[in-house]
């Protein structure tokens, strides 16, 4: 009932509300109809008027008649309407209001996180006079970040007609804006100004920007470099107070230079261990948070060197005798632990290198001159330039030959007043050798050889340069270099020159058309020489002969062939070796002897003829003797074959019974002779006789002499064989034929252990019948043996 009365009253009010602007002749009235508002004024309906409606239509427009309708006016909070007659300078205005007033949000905005807050949206109705507005019930809509919140949820709650909003405050509410609208039926107020909750909370995690790049939880920075600026921020409300501090290696805190939240640029050293950001909330003693930045300060110091436990100084050399010991220690302090190397300057190879720790120790057991030089200890660490310290070691050593360099010890040279051999001897010495102490000894006394000393690429290597004069042949030989009378090296200088001109070159004609030349060989210049003999003809000098050298001082002969008698000949002689020929040549002119008289020629012809006859006779005799010798050899071969056939007959068997004692008495009387042979005994002293036999038939009387020679020869051989057998203990057996055709029997007593009784008397086998006689019939002839081929006879 009340709402109906309000609507009627509102309509009446709208219809009755008239507004007249001071100075204007027009009065404006309004009427609300179906959501539209009709603006009417008291002018002639036939006239035109100027109308302006703010916020709805831009500018002034013309209206014919005395009214104008604004459609859907309920959607506007207010409408300002201006109208004026075209002839009037003054306008009339009326403002139409129908929507609730713009709401206002109230509540506790600064509240600690975790507490519940209540926001209230308040607005008034404008559709009725003020004294009726409180009777109008408005409804409300809430917006969070311009998003309509329609229904309650777990976080937000509402009171009746949504006038109040309730929620628990969190940190995130500071990022939200809250606004509301009031509604009266179909009329909606403007949206309220947004409000924000200011949640109050202590600091949580501190933030550093820019974020430090940590390695193993630490900020790595080199000593002497700067860090920063860094900005430290804390998430707290109200804002916290920020302070920067740093801690040294002794855990003492100091204030760092800063501008509020920002840490100024800091130069660091190895004594700083960390930086600290402190956020103070309310109470400086209790309500605060800390953020630590641990620092890894890296550095690399210069090396410190100890030589034989003494600090090495770069400007002072360490003097050590060759063969002595050297102890080197190198210390390099750094973070991270540096790598340390020890090496000789100008050398690519490292002497030693550390694997861990900041100390490097190295010992040289026996120093040599090659250890002389400058050394350096180097500290290396990633990201740093190498640090190093140099020191010098000076090793004193005696002068000696440098075997590491090639040394020529064999020289070849000419001889003469201006001839000198330059010798360069590489030596090792420290201090450098003095030329006054250099002495040469050679094949000639008081040489007086001048020497100089020059240094090589290193301080302990030198060359002793000497010039040795070779005045004549006596200066060739061995030379020894001594330093302070100590041998250094020995060299040999051999002759290496063109040979001398042959001496005493002479010639004579010893027969008609024949010339004999002689000369004496001179010095060969140190190389093997030969002689070139030339003869001159109408075309010039032509080489005649190339003769070898028999040796210095020896006489050389040359006999010419048949020459023209009475003609003059020119000869030239040179001596040559692989270097060259003698600088000069020996020349001679000889006339060949003329032809002798005719009688002399006849005598020579007779002599030649007689000599030829004698030679022919000798050749004939030799030929006859060869034929006879061949025939004799054939006959002997036939006899041997015949004897072999007789020996092969089954009824011709020879037996030998040997009496050792009788043999010794009659060794020169028996027809069948057994030579004495070494006696062989076994453990029972039993003697064994080994008998070999051979028969032969006398072929002809001419073979008697040869058989006798063969007998003597075989006897000698048997004696030698017996001697050899006795020396070696071997079995000695042989056979031969005496001059009467009887058989020689060689007996060998071999050991054959049968009886273990050593006291038993030796037994001779064949003792029962010691003698056997064999008769040989020489009247029988052996069958003819076919001649063997010549090749087999030669074999």
> Is the per-residue pLDDT at 552 higher than 50?
yes
Answer positive or negative: Cα dihedral of 665, 669, 670, 675.
positive
pLDDT digits (tens, 9 = 90+) for 426-481: 999 999 999 899 999 999 888 888 899 999 988 899 999 999 998 888 898 999 99
Domain extent listing, the chain: 2-97, 104-121+132-200, 206-299, 304-397, 402-495, 503-591, 653-795
Q: Is 102 exposed, middle or buried (0-12, 13-18, 19+ CB in 10 A)?
A: middle
Mean per-residue pLDDT, 238-256: 90
In DSSP terms, which residues pair with 428 in a beta bridge? 400, 461
pLDDT digits (tens, 9 = 90+) for 4-34: 334 433 433 343 344 444 456 788 887 767 7
Q: 304-397 in CATH: which number?
A: 2.60.40.10
CA dist 307 → 195, 325, 355, 361, 377 (Å): 82, 11, 21, 10, 12
Return d(Cα 290, Cα 245) in angstroms, integer: 10
DSSP output for 345-405: TT-SSEEEE-SSSSEEEEEESS--GGG-EEEEEEEE-TTS--EEEEEEEEEEEEEEE-TTS
Mean per-residue pLDDT, 261-269: 88
Return d(Cα 24, Cα 28) in angstroms, integer: 10
> Is the per-residue pLDDT at 620 higher than 60?
yes
Tokens linked to 121: 């949206």
What's the CATH fold of domain 402-495? Immunoglobulin-like (2.60.40)
> Is the per-residue pLDDT at 165 higher than 80?
yes
Q: 206-299 in CATH: which number?
A: 2.60.40.10
Predicted pLDDT of residue 90: 81
CA dist 543 → 326, 534, 535, 572 (Å): 75, 4, 6, 9
Q: 503-591 in CATH: which number?
A: 2.60.40.10
Answer positive or negative: Cα dihedral of 406, 411, 412, 418.
positive
What's the CATH fold of domain 104-121+132-200? Immunoglobulin-like (2.60.40)
Predicted pLDDT of residue 667: 40
Q: 2-97 in CATH: which number?
A: 2.60.40.10
Tokens linked to 574: 């040179």
User: Average pLDDT, whole number, for the chain?
Assistant: 76
pTM of the model: 0.42
Predicted pLDDT of residue 37: 81
Return d(Cα 577, Cα 452) in angstroms, integer: 35
Predicted pLDDT of residue 503: 86
- Rounded to 10 degrees, what is the CA torsion of 410, 415, 416, 417? 30
Predicted pLDDT of residue 357: 81
Which comes out higher in pLDDT, residue 174 or 312? 174
Of 372-386, 396-410, 473-487, 605-619, minimum mean pLDDT range: 605-619
Predicted pLDDT of residue 180: 94
Which comes out higher in pLDDT, residue 651 or 141? 141
Which comes out higher in pLDDT, residue 287 or 634? 634
Predicted pLDDT of residue 304: 92
pLDDT digits (tens, 9 = 90+) for 389-419: 998 889 999 999 999 999 999 988 888 888 8
What percent of the chain clears pLDDT 90, i.e. is strictly above it? 24
């Amino acid at each position: 009932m009340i709402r109906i009365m309000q609507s009627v009253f509102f309509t009446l009010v709208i219809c009755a509300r008239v507004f007249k602007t001071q100075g204007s002749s027009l009065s404006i009235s309004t009427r609300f109809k179906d959501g539209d508002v009709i603006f009417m004024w008291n002018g002639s309906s036939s006239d035109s008027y100027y109308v302006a409606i703010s916020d709805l239509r831009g500018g002034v427009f013309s209206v014919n008649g005395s009214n104008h309708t604004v459609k859907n006016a309920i959607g506007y909070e207010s409408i300002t309407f201006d109208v004026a007659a075209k002839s009037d300078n003054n306008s009339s205005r009326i403002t139409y209001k129908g929507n609730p007033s713009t709401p206002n949000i109230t509540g506790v905005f600064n509240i600690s996180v975790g507490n519940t807050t209540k926001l209230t949206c308040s607005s008034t109705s404008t559709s009725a006079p003020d004294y009726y507005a409180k009777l109008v019930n408005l409804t409300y809509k809430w917006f969070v970040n311009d998003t309509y919140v329609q229904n309650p949820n777990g976080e937000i709650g509402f009171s009746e007609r949504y006038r109040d909003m309730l929620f628990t405050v969190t940190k995130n509410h500071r990022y939200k804006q809250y606004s509301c609208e009031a509604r009266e039926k179909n009329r909606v107020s403007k949206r309220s100004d947004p409000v924000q909750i200011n949640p109050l909370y202590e600091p949580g995690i501190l933030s550093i920007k820019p974020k430090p790049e940590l390695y193993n939880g630490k900020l790595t920075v080199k000593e002497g470099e700067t860090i920063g600026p860094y900005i430290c921020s804390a998430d707290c409300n109200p804002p916290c107070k920020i302070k920067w501090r740093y801690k040294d290696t002794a855990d003492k805190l100091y204030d760092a230079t800063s501008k509020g939240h920002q840490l100024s640029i800091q130069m660091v050293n190895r004594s700083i261990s960390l930086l600290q950001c402190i956020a103070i909330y309310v109470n400086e003693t209790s309500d605060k948070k800390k953020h630590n930045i641990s620092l890894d300060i890296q550095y690399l110091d210069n090396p410190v060197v100890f030589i034989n436990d003494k600090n090495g100084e770069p400007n002072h050399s360490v003097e050590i005798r060759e063969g002595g010991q050297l102890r080197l220690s190198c210390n390099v302090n750094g973070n991270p632990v540096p790598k340390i190397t020890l090496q000789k300057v100008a050398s690519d190879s490292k002497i030693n290198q550390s694997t861990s720790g900041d100390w490097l120790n190295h010992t040289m057991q026996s120093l040599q001159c090659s250890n002389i030089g400058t050394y350096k200890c180097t500290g290396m660490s990633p990201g740093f330039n190498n640090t190093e310290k140099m020191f010098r070691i000076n090793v004193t050593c005696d002068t000696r030959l440098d075997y590491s360099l090639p040394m020529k010890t064999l020289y070849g040279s000419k001889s003469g007043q201006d001839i000198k051999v330059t010798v360069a001897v590489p030596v090792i010495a420290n201090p450098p050798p003095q030329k006054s102490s250099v002495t040469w000894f050679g094949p000639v006394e008081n040489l007086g050889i001048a020497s100089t000393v020059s240094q090589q690429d290193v301080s302990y290597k030198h060359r002793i340069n000497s010039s040795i004069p070779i005045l004549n042949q006596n200066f060739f030989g061995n030379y020894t270099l001594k330093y302070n009378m100590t041998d250094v090296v020995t060299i040999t200088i051999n002759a290496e020159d063109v040979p001398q001109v042959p001496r005493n070159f002479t010639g004579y004609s010893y027969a008609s058309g024949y010339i004999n030349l002689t000369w004496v060989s001179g010095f060969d210049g140190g190389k093997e020489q030969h002689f070139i003999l030339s003869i001159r003809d109408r075309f010039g000098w032509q080489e005649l002969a190339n003769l070898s050298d028999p040796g210095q001082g020896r006489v050389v002969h040359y006999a010419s062939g048949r020459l023209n008698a009475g003609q003059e000949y020119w000869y030239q002689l040179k001596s040559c070796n692989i270097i060259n020929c003698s600088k000069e040549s020996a020349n001679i002119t000889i006339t060949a002897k003329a032809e002798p008289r005719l009688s002399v020629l006849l005598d020579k012809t007779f002599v030649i003829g007689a000599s030829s006859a004698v030679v022919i006779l000798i050749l004939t005799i030799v030929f006859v003797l060869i034929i006879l010798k061949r025939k004799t050899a054939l006959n002997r071969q036939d006899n041997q074959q015949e004897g072999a056939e007789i020996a092969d007959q089954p009824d011709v068997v020879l037996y030998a019974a040997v009496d050792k004692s009788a043999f010794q008495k009659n060794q020169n009387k028996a027809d069948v002779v057994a030579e004495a042979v070494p006696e062989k005994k076994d453990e029972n002293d039993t003697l064994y006789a080994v008998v070999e036999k051979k028969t032969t038939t006398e072929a002809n009387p001419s073979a008697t002499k040869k058989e006798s020679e063969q007998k003597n020869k075989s006897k000698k051989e048997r004696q030698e064989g017996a001697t050899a057998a006795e020396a070696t203990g071997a079995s000695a057996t042989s056979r031969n034929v005496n001059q009467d055709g009887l058989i020689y029997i060689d007996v060998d007593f071999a050991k054959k252990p049968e009886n273990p009784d050593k006291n038993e008397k030796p037994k001779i086998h064949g003792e029962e019948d010691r003698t056997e006689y064999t008769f040989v019939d020489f009247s029988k002839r052996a069958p003819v043996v076919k001649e063997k081929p010549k090749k087999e006879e030669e074999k």
